[in-house]
């Protein structure tokens, strides 16, 4: 038992911060997810920050429109901070992994992406950036699925029945007035201004959304790398040349020579990038307007220049999302 109220069941998952347990709440007779943080000072401090952020979100989110996970309770258990959440299904990432990295159907890509933008718009209106958006931090409310057997691939394929989801993990969320650490975001979803140390704010979340949308659509990570220079080379191969004014302003001038990325195409890394990356539009999985609009939106989210990148409100008004139930009361026309 935790806190003489939560009966511990199974382990739902674990990470560097600690574990997530499936527990039965004796007070409400419901199952909940309890995030138990390691008894380590820096994780404890991060948990306190996450609690503060979640409580602020809930104060503002009277109508449960934010699509952010709800914190039900928290307590300290022998030095372990414990956060109690409503119980959800698998993460958008884990579902895809269990499905052999098959991409989501385009209609589900649309619905999942739309909800992500709605949640991020809510945070941005609170003058906050999430800074760690990725498919692991998006949980399906319920990940029950339909299974069909693919005779050609000789394996089962799953399709989630209901693609409703919630955004989680606010441990790195940063308010505009707070200290902005130099490096944020998990590598594959990290915006160019972060890599180049040009300073960042809300647009870095929008870049991450572009990367996530691509991953849901194709089943693989757009920037599969662990190194800055290679990451920048991949961006150039997929999205075109990095603007010279960003290169000049960057403190990371060692990556550039005479305003151009200092990158040897003939090296083994150069070959890897050449063989594994192609221009964005070449990843199209189908014809038709929806696929066109999808890439148009992703292109606008993956604009190198943060001030030119679509913001959350503009993204929601993009034609790719037409037909989705709008959470914004104002409709704006989108110019391509």
With a pLDDT cut of 70, the percent of the chain lying above it is: 97
Which pLDDT score, from 0 to 100, does residue 326 have? Answer: 53
Q: Is the pLDDT of residue 336 over 80?
A: no
**Strands 71-77 and 30-37, how do they pair?**
unpaired
Which pLDDT score, from 0 to 100, does residue 251 have? Answer: 80
Which pLDDT score, from 0 to 100, does residue 48 have? Answer: 95
The predicted-structure confidence for 81-95, as pLDDT tens digits, reads as follows: 999 999 999 999 999
Instruction: Provide the annotated active-site residues.
Output: 132
Ranking 45-59, 75-89, 150-164, 317-331 by mean pLDDT, the lowest is 317-331
Q: What is the DSSP letter of 266?
A: T
| Residue 38 near residue 12, CB atoms below 8 Å | no
Which pLDDT score, from 0 to 100, does residue 228 have? Answer: 96
Would residue 51 be called left, alpha or beta, if left means φ above 0 and alpha means ψ between -120 and 50 degrees? alpha
Confidence of residue 333 (pLDDT cuts 50, 70, 90): very low
| Residue 290 near residue 320, CB atoms below 8 Å | yes
Q: Is the pLDDT of residue 268 over 70?
A: yes
Mean per-residue pLDDT, 58-80: 96
Mean pLDDT of the chain: 95
The phi, psi pair for 265, rounded to 5°, reads -65, -20
- Measuring CA to CA, how many Å separate 258 from each of 133, 246, 274? 34, 13, 22
The predicted-structure confidence for 174-188, as pLDDT tens digits, reads as follows: 999 999 999 999 999
Which pLDDT score, from 0 to 100, does residue 140 have? Answer: 98
Which pLDDT score, from 0 to 100, does residue 11 have? Answer: 97
- Measuring CA to CA, how many Å separate 51 from each of 44, 85, 126, 295? 11, 11, 16, 36
Angle at 266 between CA 262 and CA 271, to 5 degrees: 100
Q: Is the pLDDT of residue 101 over 70?
A: yes
35 in a labelled binding site: yes
Structure-token match 């979640």, residue found: 54
Q: What is the pTM of this model?
A: 0.95
Helices then strands, each counted (H, E), the chain: 10, 13
Confidence of residue 41 (pLDDT cuts 50, 70, 90): very high
In whole angstroms, give the CA distance from residue 285 to residue 103. 10
* The token pair that represents 318 in the structure block: 């993009």
The predicted-structure confidence for 316-329, as pLDDT tens digits, reads as follows: 999 999 999 754 43
Angle at 17 between CA 11 and CA 18, to 5 degrees: 30
Count CB neighbours of 93 within 10 A: 18
Which pLDDT score, from 0 to 100, does residue 253 have? Answer: 77
- Measuring CA to CA, how many Å separate 109 from each of 238, 265, 294, 317? 21, 34, 9, 16
Residue positions counted in the chain: 336
Mean per-residue pLDDT, 194-222: 98
Mean per-residue pLDDT, 309-320: 98
Confidence of residue 252 (pLDDT cuts 50, 70, 90): confident
Q: Is the pLDDT of residue 273 over 70?
A: yes
Mean per-residue pLDDT, 38-49: 95
Question: Which of 72, 115, 71 shows the shortest CA–CA distance to 92?
Answer: 115
Q: Is the pLDDT of residue 102 over 50?
A: yes
Question: Which of 13, 12, 67, 71 shows the shortest CA–CA distance to 47?
Answer: 71
């Amino acid at each position: 038992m935790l806190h003489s109220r939560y009966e511990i069941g199974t382990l739902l998952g674990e990470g560097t911060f600690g574990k997530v347990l499936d527990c039965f709440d004796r007070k409400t007779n419901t199952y909940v997810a309890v995030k138990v943080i390691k008894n380590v000072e820096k994780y404890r401090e991060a948990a306190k920050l996450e609690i503060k952020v979640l409580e602020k979100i809930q104060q503002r989110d009277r109508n449960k429109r934010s699509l952010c996970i709800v914190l039900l309770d928290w307590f300290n258990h022998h030095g372990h901070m414990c956060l109690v959440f409503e119980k959800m299904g698998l993460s958008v990432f884990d579902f895809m992994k269990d499905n052999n990295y098959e991409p989501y159907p385009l209609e589900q890509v649309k619905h999942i992406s739309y909800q992500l933008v709605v949640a991020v718009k809510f945070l941005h209106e609170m003058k906050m950036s999430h800074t760690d958006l990725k498919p692991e931090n998006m949980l399906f409310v319920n990940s029950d699925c339909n299974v069909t057997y693919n005779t050609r691939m000789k394996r089962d394929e799953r399709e989630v029945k209901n693609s409703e989801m919630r955004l989680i993990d606010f441990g790195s969320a940063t308010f505009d007035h707070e200290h902005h650490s130099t490096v944020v975001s998990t590598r594959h979803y990290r915006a160019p201004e972060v890599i180049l140390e040009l300073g960042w704010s809300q647009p870095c979340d929008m870049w991450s959304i572009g990367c996530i949308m691509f991953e849901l659509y194709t089943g693989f990570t757009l920037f599969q790398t662990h190194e800055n220079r290679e990451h920048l080379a991949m961006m150039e191969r997929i999205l075109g040349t990095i603007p010279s004014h960003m290169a000049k302003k960057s403190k990371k001038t060692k990556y550039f020579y005479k305003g151009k990325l200092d990158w040897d195409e003939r090296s083994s890394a150069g070959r890897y990038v050449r063989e594994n990356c192609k221009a964005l539009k070449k990843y199209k999985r189908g014809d038709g307007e929806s696929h066109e609009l999808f890439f148009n939106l992703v292109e606008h989210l993956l604009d190198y220049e943060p001030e030119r990148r679509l913001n959350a409100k503009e993204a929601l008004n993009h034609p790719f999302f037409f037909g989705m139930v709008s959470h914004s009361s104002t409709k704006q026309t989108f110019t391509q």
